[in-house]
């Protein structure tokens, strides 16, 4: 038999196996428990939408439904005296049983009734009835163009803009900067969620979080829970699934930029685990296409959960990354390559987070004791002309360390319930900074080794009135730190908040929130000590939020909402060297905030959001979000000017359709209004001394954000085909970013003219202190196709 026949028979066998396996039968199992006490709920009815088979939980709250066709389904759980709950988009497969832990909330209706409303399908947080969006794992996995990066998925939600660059995933929330967000995994704070993260902000080019760990995500853009301090714009709660209690499972995945393996299973009868490792192959792709830099990233993630008994459990969690970017000096043939090589340093960055959460379920709910540690090490280096024997331009190294404790205790009294708690933190920052890349011969050369302590106290009370139609949430938090006199007094950081929710009808609510929130400036700003002084006058940044909105819950698994918001900022660091607010920075690589500053910058952001979210219904799903926003910060003279995040209009429409034979098609259309930018100072940029150390154009901050990018539009598409086999599942997907090949003309780059023979900059014969310069086009936007393979076993 020749090679052609062997290949033909092999392909036929594979096609036959996939075809036969697609009709495989699946198992759904799980437990139903009381959300507050963790006690089992017997007699709960479990239904799969569109199917006749039902399940019933036993005396231990366990249920099992077998012999189900594979595919994406909604699962509905009902029990007398509890609010009904729908688990949307559960993927049934034959390769492994689906395990659900269902937590039902007590109903405000009579005990003999089951509360079934459209609103009940979207479980709401009583403490935060407004400005909260929730998405599930399948919405995350299939998001077109996101490449399973959670930060890019979040950009499909209302109020969220990207930084405009397709290669970054900065979160710009309601006109606030990318340094105003905070992240939690299973209640454990994770300060870094991105590879090659911008120090002093939160964004980067690629996310660290393995989405195969995620069960769902709750995303708050206001009305933050009192136990979640340290944010001005958003709180992201990533709720992770548990490992399987019965057998070892795995997911092997090859995507557009990385390869990864995820395993989960039991360690003992009471202990489960989740573990993953991932490594990129961008360095090989970038080398092939001729880019002048070669990035490599690696990460790991581990979760271990041990249940001592029904009332007590402990979760251990850790994740970390090691990232390296080196210059590809052989790629210097084109103007663009030489331009990038001239200014870009090499990077070496690693970080890890590790934490433990002990949970005790009592009469009133879950008591949590959380311990965590975070460490970031960031290094970069740059030599003149990339020659290690030449002048050293940059030698930067710093570490950030945070050790934290938090205790949360629930309570109930009559028609009120809530929680109280406290936190304690040890914060360390050290740096050795040498940086000559400044105009006028200015040199940064300093060392810092600081230790700060911070404490917090918080309490919340939620009352229900008028037969549960009116909910009132009262919260108070206060923080203090040892940084200076401005941060030591708890009374200076009192953070009161009030949220109201009123049911106009059974499925239509009117909601509002007023709150004050505080956040410490980044370590890079707190630890600055230069020849021009230090930043010992800085204090907590303050933001006051005012939100009003209304939500209509619809019987076809959907909700529609409108919200208006206003944010007022005080005490933001004003960077004196550049005379700009720190709030306008953070959307680029490197380090921000490490310059002399005063806590005198003020700002405001306001606008309106319109949202329609469709959970899986008759094969359709999607989110439509339109945001109108203005964002302004005061300049050095106190005049309000547009911030870097003043996009004015953000519109994202994400949609999908499930077809027969396990085909899925998804699309996402994004419109981003033109963000402001600061033009270049051509004369200062051409100065020989400035160019030799900086290597690119210098912004003209006297014209801060006086220009705007063009409007940005993008269409992303994704097509999935799944096969469900006896021992494993296969998902092949084709993803296209910017399918319409939309181009955005950004501000031109300035570069020096070079001698063709030597490559050296040419001095201006009419002004020997200047180089001859030219402008390079800055056209962004290419079609980015990608193919992925996911093997689930």
The whole-number average pLDDT for the span 364-371 is 96
Q: What pLDDT, on a 0 to 100 scale, did the predictor assign at position 23?
A: 47
| Cα–Cα dist 27/49, whole Å | 15
pLDDT for residue 109 is more than 70: no
Residue 119, pLDDT > 70, answer no
Residue 118 confidence (pLDDT): 58
**Tokens representing residue 39 in the block:** 């006690």
Percent of the chain at pLDDT > 90 equals 79
17: left (phi over 0), alpha (psi -120 to 50) or beta: alpha
Spell out where 618-745 has E strands: 620-634, 640-642, 648-659, 663-672, 676-677, 707-708, 712-724, 729-737, 744-745
* Per-residue model confidence (pLDDT) at position 166: 59
CA angle centred on 74, ends 68 and 76, rounded to 5°: 95
The answer to whether 317 touches 355, Cβ cutoff 8 Å, is yes
Distance CA 616, CA 86 (A): 11
For the stretch 34-85, pLDDT in tens is: 999 999 999 999 999 989 889 999 999 999 999 999 989 999 999 999 989 9
**Integer Cα distance of 582 and 595 in angstroms:** 10
pLDDT for res 11: 42
- Residue 15, pLDDT score: 47
Residue count of the chain, please give it.
793
Distance CA 456, CA 228 (A): 10
Query: Residue 148: pLDDT band by 50, 70, 90 thresholds?
Result: confident
User: What's the rounded mean pLDDT across residues 102-131?
Assistant: 72
pLDDT-derived band at 19 (thresholds 50, 70, 90) equals very low
Banded pLDDT at 358 (limits 50, 70, 90) = very high
Q: What is the pLDDT of residue 699?
A: 93
| Torsion angle, alpha carbons of 529, 534, 540, 542, to 10 | -110
* CA distance linking residue 692 with residue 769, whole number of Å: 12
24 pLDDT tier (thresholds 50, 70, 90): low
Cβ 546 vs Cβ 514: under 8 Å: yes
Contacts of 493 (CB under 8 A, 6+ apart): 478, 479, 480, 487, 518, 540
The predicted pLDDT at position 685 comes to 94
Instruction: Indicate whether 10 pLDDT > 50.
Output: no
| Predicted TM-score of the model (pTM) | 0.92
Q: Give exposure, 203-222, as e/b (b: 16+ Cβ within 10 Å).
A: bbbbbbbbbbbbebbbbbbb
| Cα separation, 742 vs 97, whole angstroms | 43
d(CA 312, CA 367): 10
pLDDT over 70 percentage in the chain = 95
- The pLDDT confidence band at residue 13, using thresholds 50, 70 and 90, is very low
pLDDT beyond 60 at 20: no
Residue 725 has pLDDT above 80, yes or no: yes
- The pLDDT score that the predictor gives to residue 5 is 52
pLDDT exceeds 60 at position 498 = yes
- Residue 117's pLDDT band (cuts 50, 70, 90): low
Instruction: Check if the beta carbon of residue 550 is closer than 8 Å to that of residue 513.
Output: no
Q: Give the lowest-confidence range in 4-13, 313-322, 589-598.
A: 4-13
Arithmetic mean of pLDDT, 236-259: 93
pLDDT at 494 over 50: yes
Is 673:713 a contact under the CB 8 Å cutoff?
Answer: no
**Which of 521, 202, 519, 199 has the alpha carbon at shortest distance from 376?**
199
From residue 26, alpha-carbon distances to 64, 73, 76, 213, 724 in Å are 11, 12, 17, 21, 9
Mean pLDDT of 301-330: 97
pLDDT at 339 over 70: yes
Which tokens belong to 49? 């939408």
User: For the chain, what is the mean pLDDT?
Assistant: 92
What is the model's pLDDT at position 431?
97
**For 327-334, which contacts have Cβ atoms below 8 Å and span 24 or more sequence positions?**
327/292, 327/293, 327/294, 327/386, 328/286, 328/287, 328/291, 328/292, 328/293, 328/294, 329/292, 329/386, 331/290, 331/291, 331/292, 332/292, 333/290
pLDDT digits (tens, 9 = 90+) for 468-493: 899 999 999 999 999 999 999 999 99
Phi then psi for 6, rounded to 5 degrees? -60, -45
Lowest mean pLDDT among 16-20, 22-26, 716-720: 16-20
């Amino acid at each position: 038999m020749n090679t052609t026949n062997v290949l033909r028979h092999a392909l036929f066998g594979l096609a036959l196996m996939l075809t036969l396996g697609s009709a495989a039968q699946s198992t759904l199992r799980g437990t139903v428990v009381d959300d507050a006490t963790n006690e089992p709920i017997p007699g709960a009815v479990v239904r799969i939408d569109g199917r006749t088979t039902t399940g019933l939980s036993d005396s231990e709250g366990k249920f099992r439904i077998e012999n189900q066709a594979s595919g994406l389904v909604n699962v509905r759980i009902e029990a007398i005296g509890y609010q009904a709950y729908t688990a949307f988009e559960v993927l049934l497969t034959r390769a492994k049983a689906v395990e659900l832990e269902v937590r039902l909330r007590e109903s405000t209706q009579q005990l003999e009734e089951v509360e079934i409303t459209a609103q009940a399908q979207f479980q709401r947080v009583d403490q935060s009835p407004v400005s909260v969006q929730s998405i599930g794992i399948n919405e995350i996995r299939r998001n077109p163009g996101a490449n399973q990066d959670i930060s890019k998925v979040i950009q499909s939600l209302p109020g969220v803009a990207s930084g405009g660059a397709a290669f970054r995933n900065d979160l710009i929330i309601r006109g606030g900067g990318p340094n105003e967000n905070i992240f939690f995994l299973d209640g454990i704070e994770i300060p870094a969620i991105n590879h090659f993260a911008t120090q002093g902000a939160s964004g980067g080019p690629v996310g660290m979080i393995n989405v195969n760990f995620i069960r769902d995500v709750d995303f708050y853009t206001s009305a933050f829970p009192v136990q979640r301090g340290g944010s001005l714009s958003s709180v992201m709660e990533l709720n992770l699934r548990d490992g399987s209690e019965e057998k070892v499972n795995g997911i092997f995945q090859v995507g557009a930029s990385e390869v990864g393996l995820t395993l989960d299973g039991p360690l003992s009868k009471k202990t489960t685990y989740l573990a993953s490792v991932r490594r990129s192959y961008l360095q090989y792709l970038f080398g092939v296409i001729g880019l002048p830099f070669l990035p490599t990233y690696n990460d790991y993630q581990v979760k271990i959960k041990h249940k001592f008994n029904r009332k007590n459990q402990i979760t251990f969690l850790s994740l970390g990354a090691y990232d390296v970017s080196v210059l590809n000096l052989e790629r210097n043939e084109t103007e663009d390559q030489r331009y990038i090589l001239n200014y870009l340093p090499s990077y070496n960055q690693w970080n890890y987070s590790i934490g433990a959460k002990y949970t005790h379920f009592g009469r009133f709910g879950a008591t949590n004791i959380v311990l965590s540690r975070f460490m970031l090490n960031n290094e970069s280096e740059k030599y003149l002309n990339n020659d290690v024997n030449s002048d050293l331009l940059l030698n930067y190294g710093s570490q950030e360390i945070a050790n934290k404790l938090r205790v949360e205790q629930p309570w109930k009294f009559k028609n009120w319930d809530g929680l109280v708690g406290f936190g304690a933190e040890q914060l360390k920052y050290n740096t050795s900074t040498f940086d000559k890349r400044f105009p006028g011969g200015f040199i940064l050369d300093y060392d810092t080794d600081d230790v700060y302590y911070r404490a917090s106290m918080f309490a919340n009370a939620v009352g229900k009135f008028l037969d549960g139609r009116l909910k009132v949430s009262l919260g108070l938090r206060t923080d203090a730190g040892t940084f200076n006199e401005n941060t030591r007094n708890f009374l200076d950081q009192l953070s009161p908040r009030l949220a109201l929710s009123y049911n106009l009808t059974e499925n239509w609510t009117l909601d509002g929130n007023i709150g004050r929130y505080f956040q410490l400036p980044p370590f890079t700003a707190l630890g600055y000590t230069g020849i021009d002084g230090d930043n010992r006058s800085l204090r907590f940044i303050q933001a006051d939020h005012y939100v009003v909105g209304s939500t209509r819950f619809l019987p076809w698994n959907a909700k529609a909402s409108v919200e208006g918001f206003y944010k007022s900022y005080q005490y933001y660091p004003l960077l004196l060297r550049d005379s700009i607010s720190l709030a306008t920075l953070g959307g680029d690589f490197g380090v921000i905030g490490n310059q002399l500053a005063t806590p005198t910058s003020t700002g405001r952001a306001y606008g309106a959001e319109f949202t329609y979210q469709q959970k899986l219904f008759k094969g359709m799903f999607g989110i439509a979000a339109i945001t109108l926003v203005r964002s302004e910060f005061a300049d050095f003279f106190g005049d309000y000017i547009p911030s870097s995040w003043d996009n004015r209009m953000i519109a994202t429409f994400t949609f999908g359709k499930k077809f027969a034979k396990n085909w899925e098609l998804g699309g996402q259309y994004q419109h981003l209004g033109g963000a402001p930018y600061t033009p270049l100072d051509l004369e200062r940029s051409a100065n020989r001394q400035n160019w030799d150390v900086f290597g690119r154009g210098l912004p003209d901050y006297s014209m801060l954000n006086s220009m705007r990018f063009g409007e940005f539009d993008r269409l992303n598409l994704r097509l999935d085909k799944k096969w469900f086999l006896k021992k494993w599942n296969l998902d092949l997907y084709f993803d296209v970013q910017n399918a319409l090949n939309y181009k955005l003309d950004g501000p031109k780059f300035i570069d020096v003219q070079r001698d063709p023979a030597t490559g050296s900059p040419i001095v201006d014969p009419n002004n020997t202190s200047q180089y001859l310069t030219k402008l390079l086009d800055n056209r962004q936007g290419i079609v980015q196709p990608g193919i992925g393979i996911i093997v689930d076993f």
